[in-house]
Amino acid sequence: MDYKNTKAVHTTITRDMSELDAKVGNVYETVAIIAKRANQISSDLKKELDARLQDFSVPQDNIDEVFENKEQIEISRSYEMMPKPTLIATQEFIDDELIVRNGSKEREF
């Protein structure tokens, strides 16, 4: 999924929990769903960033020398400017873009 073009806000905002848990019926289950999705997003972003930065790595035995590459800095900066995984997951939950599988039952939110 392309997380760079998400509609998620870049800052934390206060949300009404009664609106969030209306779909599930349980506040704790709602938070667990959003947290699990945030972990998935975070893992995906880390893999993607590591793959992009792998091009810049140079195998060296000498750790004292640090090379700064402007392209590498721009890539890192672009990932830092993205919304946090928790905010992306919350927006996906609000927009009903999540499918939750729990044992024998499967629900779409």
Among 94, 79, 15, smallest CA distance to 48 is for 79
Instruction: Show me where the domains of the chain are located.
Output: 3-57+68-108
* Residue 107 predicted with pLDDT over 70: no
Contacts 24+ apart (CB under 8 A), 65-72: none
More confident of the two residues 32 and 102: 32
**70-87 confidence digits (pLDDT tens):** 888 888 888 888 899 999
Amino acid identity of 10? H
What integer best gives the mean pLDDT of the chain? Answer: 82
Supply the pLDDT for residue 67.
61
